[in-house]
């Protein structure tokens, strides 16, 4: 029997082929969960849901009505919600002084307001369970804890959702609902596919990882299985699933320049 046998799971942010949300969904399916994947691209969601014998629903996290409809879709397609994961995000990088109000509002809508309303809708759906209870999981980022240049809007909104997760854990633990974050570091996903083309970037990160390699989506999926399973006696925590990156901190521009120089000298 799988560790998630009989669990009903919603994974938002699984509309990109091979992305972290899809890797988590496959692992959950393999562990016995019923899986509903959600996002904004219907063709890919439909294809992937068929591949894993799951369900899908369209949902734009910045649209409150979509979030409410997602909760209703999960109840109608699976009969309820035991596990809800927000794996959405956008890799927005820009120098601090150049961030515009419109960009800040965009990041807040996607990585603060939207997740807040997602938690609200999923908690209500979990509360319909008899007995009530469940697991909320937010995919955060190591950069919500440690510094990296040109990421202020991204880091700030991720850090905000980490703290909201703690609030959920505090308030809804008495209902059997756990809430935790997972913080990857630099991870090989479709969103980061271009990092290998930047001279010295991967090497400068690997030098900062005590475990000597950057992460994979499978690393994150393994952590998500634990947090979603009944064996998890943890709530309000932020799991740093990043090979020890937070022990040393992200590389600086100077680190990258030094690494590029070393690569050039060796070639």
- Dihedral angle over CA of 23, 195, 155, 135, nearest 10: 10
Give me the catalytic one of 56, 119, 154, 209. 154
154 is catalytic: yes
Cα–Cα nearest to 11, from 38, 50, 51, 30: 38
Query: Which positions are catalytic?
Result: 154
């Amino acid at each position: 029997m799988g560790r998630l046998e009989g669990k009903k799971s919603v994974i938002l942010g699984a509309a990109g082929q091979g992305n972290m949300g899809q890797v988590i969904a496959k692992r959950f399916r393999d562990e016995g969960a019923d899986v509903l994947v959600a996002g904004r691209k219907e063709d890919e969601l439909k294809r992937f849901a068929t591949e894993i014998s799951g369900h899908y629903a369209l949902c734009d996290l910045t649209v409150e009505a979509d979030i409410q409809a997602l909760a209703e879709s999960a109840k109608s397609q699976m009969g309820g919600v035991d596990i809800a994961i927000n794996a959405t995000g956008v890799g927005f990088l820009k120098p601090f002084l150049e961030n515009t109000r419109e960009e800040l509002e965009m990041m807040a809508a996607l990585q603060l307001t939207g997740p807040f309303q997602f938690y609200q809708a999923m908690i209500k759906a979990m509360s319909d369970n008899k007995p009530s209870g469940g697991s909320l999981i937010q995919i955060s980022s190591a950069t919500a804890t440690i510094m990296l240049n040109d990421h202020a809007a991204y880091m700030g909104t991720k850090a905000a959702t980490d703290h909201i997760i703690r609030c959920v854990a505090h308030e809804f633990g008495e209902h059997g609902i756990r809430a935790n974050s997972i913080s990857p570091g630099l991870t090989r996903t479709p969103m980061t596919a271009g990092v290998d083309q930047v001279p010295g970037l991967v090497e400068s990160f690997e030098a900062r990882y005590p475990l000597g390699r950057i992460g994979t989506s499978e690393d994150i999926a393994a952590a998500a299985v634990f947090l979603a399973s009944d064996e998890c006696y943890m709530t309000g925590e932020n799991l740093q699933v990043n090979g020890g990156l937070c022990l040393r901190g992200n590389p600086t521009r100077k680190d990258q320049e030094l690494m590029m120089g070393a690569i050039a000298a060796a070639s």
